[in-house]
Structure 1
Amino acid sequence: MKKEKYFEAELSEQDDNAFSLIADIEDNDEQYDTKIKLNGKVPVLPLRNMVLFPGIFMPVTIGRKSSLKLVKDAEKKKALIAVVCQKSAQVESPNIDDLHLIGAMAKVVRILEMPDQSTTVILQGVKRITLQELTDTSPYLKGKADLFDEEIPPKEDKEFIALVDSCKDLTLRYLQTTEGAHLDSEFAIKNMANNIFLVNFICTNLPLKKEEKIELLLITSLRERAYRLLEILNREVQLAEIKASIQMRAREDIDQQQREYFLQQQIKTIQDELGGSGQEQEIEEMRKKGNFMNWSSDVMAVFEKELAKLERTHPQSPDFSVQLNYLQTMLNLPWGMYTVDNVNLKNAEKILNKDHYGLEKVKERILEHLAVLKLKGDMKSPIICLYGPPGVGKTSLGRSIAESLKRKYIRMSLGGVHDEAEIRGHRKTYIGAMPGRIIKSLIKAGSSNPVFILDEIDKINSDRQGDPSSALLEVLDPEQNHSFHDNYLDVDYDLSKVMFVATANNINQIPPPLLDRMELIEISGYITEEKVEIARKHLVPKAMEANGLNSKKINSPLKIGKPTLEAIIENYTRESGVRELEKKIGKILRKAARMYATDGYFSPSDIKPSDLYDFLGAPEYTHDKYQGNDYAGVVTGLAWTAVGGEILFIETSLSRGKGNKLTLTGNLGDVMKESAMLALEYIKSHAALLNIDEDIFDNWNIHLHVPEGAIPKDGPSAGITMVTALASAFTQRKVKANLAMTGEITLRGKVLPVGGIKEKILAAKRAGIKEIILSVENKKNIDEIEDMYLKGLDFHYVSDIKEVLAIALTNHKVVDAIDFTAKKNETK
């Protein structure tokens, strides 16, 4: 069909009357009625992939010399020729078996010499023929053929008219859908009025398969031929529309890509005129910055390799941003950048004392580090773990350390962290990869030797995503952290100059390998006196500022004195730290601010303990007070709690019964129950020492109770207290007034040391205790406490329970003492 389209174009340029010729013939049906007689041989013109129908003009490009001679002879003699189609286009010299026997007689209308030196002949079909045989092959094919007519429906046949109209509409639809269809074909079809000619014209010129055209030519009835043509046209139109839809979608994609490509090229051209693209400028800036970085040769080699990879990556590729982020991370890290430490010990001590009251051990350890740093000039930073109850200032202490050292301060909360990648980062090949929080914090600090607070290190969790505490082993080991390996960075980074300070509430929850890498410093709870000073120096001024009471608009100052602060601590808070105290002070100051904003003055301006009811309501807590020694079997012990020390009463009562029954109440733990059994066994085995009749144990039941049964109690600290309570109950002797004790016992009667001595001592002092019995091994704990907290207290250091009983039990029996001999005498 390409040759046909090319010919039609050439024909329209050479002969403007080409389509007028077609019009003349199609309006004239004489050619269908022409009587042709075939006598003898007729010239046979074999065509390749072309089928000629009666009445139709068809241009044919002549290639064979024999065919060219045939058409020239026919033109001269005005003779008709037989036109048939070859079965295979590759056959150069066909015989009868290589030809379709159905064809058409045609006349040569015109021979044209084309500009490309080829020859084109215009043929017009006249009648259908059937080729019987070939008789000659030289100088061209000749043979015998039989004519056979077509069954032509009458002009008034409405069915045929409608059928042809449908074929016409489908053909026009096909030509409009098919890309490259010639406008002349569409014009010719629209202007054809002869239905017979139109059907044959479509069959000839539509690009159908050769086999289908032969099939159509074989159909004698024009109505049946039109029906078959309609089926073929329906199929071809559907295929053409599907193909056009596919091509349209493909063209849209290609057009969008080409548009983006051209726009990118324009942008690149503009950027080149301005001195290079943004990506090229950025890469060049990174290269220049990398040349000034304090890198080792290994890190520099990695940077150069990754930068070269970035240059080879297209800016529109997703890998470009990944690679760019990685290189920016490398450049933003403070490689070899250190702040200068302040080694002025007096100034550092002043800052630590200003920010925190007490905490002498911690301050001493920091100052020791500074002293070594001053003498040596450089040292591996220690890993300090501050542990203690909440609210005692562990986290804020890290900020003070950073300020005293003049270092950058970083705080990283580890509470609830359960992904190892939070510490070590993700590999950069993952989608959304990023460095670990250690590296990100160093980028934020801009220094390689900050004070790094690892807050709540005991709250780390582990699950299927890894164990973050194991990832911290390398971070917190001074022998390993000089080459810390982050998965995202993928090169070693020096953390040896970082001063890590970990905080924890409970060191028992920290894995032993991690705990072994840290230097533990305990921060115990504050005593009342320390809380008063913290509130006076820090909490009250801070709350005043927060509530607008330091404003210039305030004429008269508001005062909260030490007795008031102490009353708040004793009656409205129960904690080791000062968070709850800070809240209570804030509540008071908010109410005072409302008073001033409403009335213009404070009422009262000096808040006394008696005013606290109006500000805070009824007291929320009450501390136990010493209750005297009027009862036998009641002894005051000392206990440690998470919110400070408390006094503890051990009560013992005896009742007649079968004996050997010990009842324990007061929500006691296993250790405390064992201490009670130990105490009873010791009393039984040393009954003679206390002048106790052994028959008492068989006739009296023992009930030991620790008040406040809703509160769980456990620990060995009440061991000697229980022994003294049982001894007092069995002997009915009074316990020395204003005496308290704490210590663990053994079955042999040895008194062992216990913990929490400072808190217990302060609790005893608050309760009005004057004398305290301790293990001799606890004397070192007393020596560490400041004298101001020990004033008014006498200490008895013992090593055996006999010493305890000698000090605690007096020779005075209580009023209404139990007569253990009465029942025995009645029996006698």
Structure 2
Amino acid sequence: MTENQSLRMPEMVPLFPLRDMVAFPYMVFPLFITNEEIAVFEEAIPFDNMITLFKLRNESSERLLSSLNEIGTICKINQLTRMAEGGAKVVLEGLARVRLVDMPQENPIPLVRVEQVREFAEKSVVSEALVSSLNALLKIALSYGRPLPDDVMKMIDYIDNPGRLSDLVALYVNLPPDELQKLLETVDPIERLKKVYMSLTAEVQRLQIKGEVQAEVTKKVGKTQKEYLLREQMKQIQEELGEEDDRQTEIKDLRKKLLSAGMPEEVRKIAEKELKRLDKINPASPEYSVSRTYLDYLLNMPWQNATIDNRDINQAEEVLNQDHFDLKKVKERILEYLAVRTLKEKMKGPILCFVGPPGVGKTSLGRSIARALGRKFIRVSLGGMRDEAEIRGHRRTYIGALPGRIIQEIYRAGHNNPVFMLDEVDKIGIDFRGDPASALLEVLDPEQNFSFTDHYLDVPFDLTNVMFITTANILDPVPPALKDRMEVINLSGYTDEEKERIAVTYLIPREIEENGLSKYQPKFSEDAIYKIIRDHTREAGVRNLQRHIGSICRKVAKEITQNKPPREQITQELVEEFLGPRKFFDEVTAEKDRVGVVTGLAWTETGGDIIFVEANRMKGKGDLILTGSLGEIMKESARAALSFVEANCVELKIDPKEFTGMNIHIHVPAGSIPKDGPSAGITMTTALVSLLSGREAQRDVAMTGEVSLTGRVLAIGGLKEKVLAARRAGVKKVIVPERNRKDLEDIPQDVREQLNFIFIEDVREAFVQALK
């Protein structure tokens, strides 16, 4: 074990405090000082040019001695040079570690007593291995571009003293001043060498990672630069040859479209930004196709492109009459719109809602309106739609995102003022993907849809020029908020006479054309048409009527292809031969009057229908049994009817004992069909009175109306459909609430003449008219 050589030092030495650095032995370094600090170094000349450097530990302390670290370095002043701009440069050489003992003088210049720190170096396998490893690490660091002073490079191969080597390398490692101070205070050279070795290892690892990252970046940048240079060279060659890159041609075309698209200013800025972004994207990148599709929608949307409306009201009326029979209210509303459009250029499109049973021409009416106005026609079926994104679109962050159906269809139409039909609005669903009906609130509100924002486009689009038409079989499932935004127009069912005219005018010519009989033109007799209507169809519209006419035309076509003589006249007998025996009978005329069985009228989504309410009784506990797939409202009507009859049994000449120990059963046939609503109230009340009084009910008398507990008859809806159903079934007399007298105007004159209408305000009047 050897002790480091003892250093001859003066008894007291000047002190200079360090703030952001640490001085080590064997270290030659410059120090830049201010004019005020020069005096300390000049006073060190009598002390053999020696000065002690101690790092400050706590600058807030009042006394300098208590603010210094215990271990510092005594240095020799090799050179002191004053600089022209002020201050001086001092070149110092670290000599040895010293421990602060005392400070006899603090002002004007700090003088301290110090003692040299003794170090012991033991040559061993460990120290030799550490020295060798440290030398190797220094060379590795040097290979990664970490520079070393020339004198240090010359010395590291010859130094085998662990302490001296660790002090030389200490400042080479990037450590904060506090960590360097701990190294200075580590007296044991082996321990100090271990700490330096660990720090240098971390530094080398950092340099390795940095080198790998730089190499990878350089590689990628080199590849990008190469591609850029090749691309630029290709452009120059194409320009010399008079050719253009397909991609650049596409960008130029998009820029031309951008200038001529006529889009609003805010949309144009977004499109320009997206076009600049597209120009920088590699065509092989998936982002290119996403950005290209988005730009395609932005540039090709009909921001200003619109069809010119046909403002000739007489011609529009003629077109509507060619396509549809009757429907006076609808045609009148369309002509009103045209008249206002003629007088006022800028107006909001109406939101119409056609409500009626299937087959009355709601969807085809929308197509006729578009033809009458000279506009494009768009139809979107909402039946079964459950995803809000179908209306508003998906955000572009999703893979395969597209706009909603509203924007898609307008984009395809190429005009911003089409007739847009939203079919089956009453059959929209709702699930975890949102509520499409709520998304339609903005679309179908003229006060909001001037700035409709699709999630995909993410820019407002004006829908005020679009004429929206919705269709529904019944309005009950439509949310009230959506219903409030639409102008509801009811389309009722057709009478037999209207169906016959529709068949002659529209259906028969269409089916003859579609089935290849244009050369033969078979004639349908009036009796044959009525036979199809009354014996083979039972509907509010004409869809099944068209199917049966088509079936007859196909059978005629089959006979012609079998070389049989073509049928010139379609008679009743041929209808029965082609379509088979009759499928529907007049339920009322086919039955006889019975006790407890009353004819009622119902209104369903497929139009009007008749129902038979049957009442019976048997021994029991006085329960009311209700069957026939009745809804809650209809069940409540039955309970209210029984309560009225029981409360007024004396007036109705019914023995109160009839209710004692008896169960009453009310049944409505066709149990597989759900039935609901209050309009069967007077029918069930009359059936109970008939049952309990033993009076037969007349089957050719049908009734409809809601009844209260006091016997008042309240108004109902769907009177026209119910009356048409009564006429089809062979009813002669119809009992209707007095409050529905005004609705008689909607019923055709020929139907009113064939039926006897009885208007009542109290249910007791129904008993007089219906019971024998």
Task: Give the TM-score band, short-chain normalised.
Answer: 0.5 to 0.7
Are positions 1:323 and 2:291 aligned together?
A: yes
Q: Indicate the RMSD between aligned Cα atoms, in angstroms.
A: 3.8
Q: Are 2:755 and 1:793 equivalent residues in the alignment?
A: yes
In structure 1, C-alpha distance between the alignment counterparts of 2:593 and 2:403, rounded to whole Å: 70
Structure 1 residues 277 and 696: alpha-carbon distance in aligned structure 2, compared to 1, 3 A threshold: closer
Other structure's SS at 1:544 match: helix
- 1:65-87 superposed Cα distances (whole Å, 9 cap, x missing partner): xxxxxxxxxxxxxxxxxxxxxx9
Structure 2: gaps spanning 5 or more residues: 1-135, 140-149, 159-218
Verify: 1:765 aligned to 2:727, yes or no.
Answer: yes
SS in 2 for 1:620: coil
Displacement of 1:499: 0.9
Contact 1:426 1:433 in 2 (8 A): yes
1:567-613 deviation digits (Å, cap 9, x = unpaired): 223333343333333222222211110101112422x4322233233
Preserved contact between residue 332 and residue 443 of structure 1 (Cα < 8 Å) = yes
Q: In 2 relative to 1, CA 585–653 (structure 1 residues): closer, same or farther, beyond 3 Å?
A: same
Paired residue secondary structure (1:722): helix
2:527 corresponds in structure 1 to 563
Residue-by-residue CA offset, 1:121-141 (whole Å, 9 max, x unaligned): xxxxxxxxxxxxxxxxxxxxx
Specify the code of the residue in structure 2 equivalent to 1:589: C
Task: Tell me the CA shift for residue 380 of structure 1.
Answer: 0.6
- Structure 1 residues 237-248: aligned runs within 5 Å: none
The residue aligned with 2:353 is 385
Aligned to 2:570: 607
User: Structure 2 CA distance, aligned partners of 1:677 and 1:713?
Assistant: 16
Matches of 2:636 and 2:285, distance apart in 1: 72
What's 2:315 paired with? 347
Q: Confirm or deny: 8 A CA contact 2:734 2:756 kept in the other structure.
A: yes
1:375 is aligned to 2:336: no
The 1:568/1:323 distance shift into structure 2, 3 A limit, reads: same
Rate the CA distance shift 1:564–1:479 in 2: closer, same or farther, 3 A. Answer: same
Residues 284 and 791 of structure 1: CA distance in aligned 2, closer, same or farther (over 3 Å): same
Aligned to 1:144: none
Residue of structure 2 equivalent to 1:474: 442
Q: Which of 332, 335, 351 is the equivalent residue of 1:364?
A: 332
User: In the alignment, does 2:503 pair up with 1:535?
Assistant: yes
Aligned to 2:37: none
Partner of 1:158: none
Give the unaligned 5+ runs of structure 1: 1-86, 99-250, 811-828
Corresponding residue for residue 572 of structure 1: 536
Shift of 1:628: 6.7
From the superposition, tell whether residues 505 and 644 of structure 1 become closer, same or farther in structure 2 (CA, over 3 Å): closer
Is contact 2:261–2:300 with CA below 8 Å preserved after alignment? no
Distance 2:719 2:354 in 1: 19
User: TM (normalized to structure 1)?
Assistant: 0.62
**Residues 374 and 653 of structure 1, relative CA distance in 2, 3 Å threshold:** same
Matched position secondary structure for 1:626: helix
Q: Is the 8 A contact 1:633 1:652 kept in 2?
A: yes
Q: 1:749 aligns with which of 702, 711, 721?
A: 711
Q: Helix, strand or coil for the counterpart of 1:569? A: helix
Which runs of structure 2 are paired with 1:603-642 in the superposition (5 Å)?
A: 604-626=567-589, 630-642=593-605
Larger Cα-atom Rg: 1
Contact 2:681 2:705 (C-alpha < 8 Å) held by counterparts:
yes
Query: 2:626 and 2:407 mapped to 1: Cα distance?
Result: 56
C-alpha contact (below 8 Å) 2:507/2:546 kept by paired residues: yes
Partner of 2:608: 645
Q: Which has the higher mean CA deviation after the structures are superposed, 493-502 or 266-275? A: 266-275
Q: 1:540 to 1:279 in 2, by over 3 A?
A: same
Shift of 1:509: 3.1
Other structure's SS at 1:434 match: coil
State the SS of the aligned residue for 1:688.
coil
Matched residue, 2:88: none
C-alpha change, 1:266 and 1:761, in structure 2 (3 Å) is same
Cα drift, residue 741 of structure 1: 1.8
Provide the rounded CA distance (Å) in 2 between the counterparts of 1:575 and 1:268: 75
Amino acid aligned to 1:283: I
Alpha-carbon distance between aligned partners in 2 of 1:713 and 1:536, rounded to the nearest angstrom = 35
Q: Give me the whole-angstrom Cα distance separating, in 2, the residues matched to 1:334 and 1:630.
A: 67
Q: Which amino acid in 1 is paired with 2:733?
A: E
C-alpha separation in 1, matches of 2:522 and 2:720:
34
Structure 1, 495-504 or 642-651: larger mean CA deviation: 642-651
Structure 1 residues 709-718 or 379-388, which shifts more? 709-718
The structure-2 alpha-carbon separation of the partners of 1:628 and 1:463, relative to structure 1 and needing over 3 Å to count, comes to closer
Partner-residue secondary structure (3-state), 1:454: strand
Determine whether 1:519 maps to 2:477: no
**2:600 partner SS:** strand
In the alignment, is the contact (CA less than 8 A) between 1:652 and 1:729 conserved in 2? Answer: yes
SS of the residue corresponding to residue 647 of structure 1 reads strand
Alpha-carbon distance, 1:292 to partner: 3.1
Please tell me whether the aligned partners of residues 302 and 411 of structure 2 are also in contact (alpha carbons under 8 angstroms).
yes
Alpha-carbon contact 2:355-2:491 (below 8 Å) kept: yes
1:298 aligns with 2:262: no
Over 3 Å counting, the alpha-carbon distance change for 1:715 and 1:600 in structure 2 is: same
Q: How does 1:150-549 map to 2 (within 5 A)?
A: 265-266=233-234, 269-270=237-238, 272-549=240-517
1:716 aligns with 2:678: yes
Per-residue CA shift, 1:300-352, capped at 9, x if unaligned?
Answer: 32233333333334444444443333333222111122222122222222222
Return the alpha-carbon distance in structure 2 between the equivalents of residues 685 and 417 of structure 1: 49
1:691 Cα offset (Å): 3.4
Match for residue 694 of structure 1 among 656, 669, 682: 656
Deviations 1:76-115 (CA, angstroms, capped at 9, x unpaired): xxxxxxxxxxx99x99xx9xx99xxxxxxxxxxxxxxxxx
Contact 2:422/2:468, CA 8 A, preserved across alignment: yes
Does the CA-based 8 Å contact 2:235-2:244 persist in structure 1?
A: no
Change (3 A) 1:398 1:271: farther
Change in CA separation of 1:584 and 1:340 when aligned onto 2, cut-off 3 Å: same
Q: Which amino acid aligns with 1:789?
A: V
Mapping of residues 34-183 of structure 1, within 5 Å: none
Alpha-carbon distance, 1:696 to partner: 4.2
Q: Summarize deviations over 1:617-674 as a string: whole Å, max 9, x none.
A: 333343412357654444332223333333333344566x578565555554444444
1: distance between equivalents of 2:411 and 2:399? Answer: 22
Contact 1:653 1:729 in 2 (8 A): yes
SS at 1:593 equivalent: helix
2:739 to 777, 784, 807: 777
SS of equivalent to 2:724: helix
* CA 1:267–1:616: 2 relative to 1, 3 Å: farther
- How much has 1:379 moved relative to structure 2? 1.0
Asked if the contact 1:629–1:734 (Cα under 8 Å) also holds between the matched residues in 2, the reply is no
Structure 1 stretches of 4+ with a deviation exceeding 6 A read 254-261
8 Å Cα contact 1:637-1:741 kept in structure 2: yes
- Aligned match of 1:594: 558
